[in-house]
Amino acid sequence: MDKIVLQGGRRLQGTVAISGSKNACLPLMAASLLGDSPTQLHNVPNLRDITTMMIMLGELGAKASLKGTTLTIDPRGFSVPKVPYNMVRKMRASIYVLGPLIARLGRAIVSLPGGCAIGARPIDLHLKGLAALGANIKLSHGYILADNPGLKGAEIVLEGAHGSSVGATNNVMMAAVLAKGITTIRGAACEPEVVDLVTMLRQMGARIEGEGTSTITITGVNGLQCADHTVIPDRIEAGTFMTMAGITQGDILIKGCRIDHMEAIINKLLEIGIEVTPQDDGIRVQGTDHLKPVSIRTLPYPGFPTDMQAQFTALLCLAEGQSTVTETIYVDRFIHVAELLRMGADIQLHRGTAIVRGVKKLSAASVMASDLRASAALIVAGLAAEGLTEVLRVYHIDRGYERIEQKMALLGAKIERLDTTKTKDLGSTSSHWGDTPDP
């Protein structure tokens, strides 16, 4: 198992290119099963989750091959209706194939997703929406069993207790495009990743209106063709590099990102005192030595994204004053706080809100990543910590950040990925660079 080791106190500067969005690509891959011939996706990131989805598509009878950043998916052998637990447990996004299975094959046997480090993430809205279209659904022995006696359009409300659901919106859309009649989804998610899926489905022949709003209308068609589609850039990767510039007083040109997808993130950076300047080919982010405290509340798009909460929590550890970070999407998504405390942060948790009191400095430590975005937050904190920080369980970060240590090294970070079977502890690693961490 690998770990990432990085030396704090180095200013990051230079240019970084943003990869394609993992959160957009996964439902696009599932949607390719709806076509009648091979679909090509461009700007696909080479990530663990992409590989997992490719393997799963193969288990369903389709063929998937990745060459460079182009992914080709041939759905003509798609015939197997079952997705076992050993696939779903690796990646919750496996549930995206539920809609295509019901719509194309007429039946589905899909394992319920297992537990998650950031708390309960139910799929009740997925099942509610598909049942409203006419699918017969029951749960048995940890599996979703569904069959399609004939999907018909319906009026569906998908807004849940914590707002709209990207996953449910995507799944219901993928089933509704082949249902008879008109489907109206109210309380639909507005995220750019949903809009990207609609863009590809429309290219395949789907009839969809209203993407990017809370009401989406789908008129069913008899069949879909292939697509040739370019995946949108990853706004969360871009936001993560923005926090790296901010915490290191750096100067980074982030190329290939979409400013219109990142307004909530940019607005908070400006409020903190970080300079953000649009460029012809991206966004320039310049840090400051006086970070201001702010209040952040995660919300569905266009609000502040939950996937950036951990990274901003790390950034605010060095702000001059008291900040509050309230998590409304996944209220348990604060496991990274315990690790930040080990690095000298001053954070208190109160019922879904982190009260972050800025400190003058962070200290390097050996920390454990609990999930994808927590991994990124610990790396962000490590950039500003005195000494050497080692982040364990970095397989989490491989799920959503393509070659992150290589991209950071090009910006001037002193960072390495090491095999934990060959390094015993932080001390042995630090001697590799000639530094000894503070006791």
Could you tell me the end-to-end alpha-carbon distance of the chain, in angstroms, rounded to an integer?
Answer: 26
Residue 318's CB: how many other CB atoms inside 10 A? 21
The pair of three-digit structure tokens given for residue 10, joined into one six-digit string:
């180095």
Return the ∠ at Cα 404 (arms to 400 and 405), rounded to 5°: 145
Q: What is the 3-state secondary structure (H, E, C) of 326-390?
A: ECCCCCCCCHHHHHHHHCCCEEEEECCEEEEECCCCEECCEEECCCHHHHHHHHHHHHHEECEEE
In whole angstroms, give the CA distance from residue 242 to residue 103.
41
Residue 220's CB: how many other CB atoms inside 10 A? 20
Residue 344's closest CA among 318, 383, 307, 377?
Answer: 318
The pair of three-digit structure tokens given for residue 76, joined into one six-digit string:
């003509």
Longest Cα separation, the chain: 69
Q: Give the number of C-alpha atoms closer than 13 A to the C-alpha of residue 239, restricted to the C-beta side.
A: 31
Peptide bond preceding 302 in cis form (omega within 30 of 0): yes
* Residues tagged active-site: 116
Residue pair 308/275 in contact by the 8 Å Cβ criterion: no
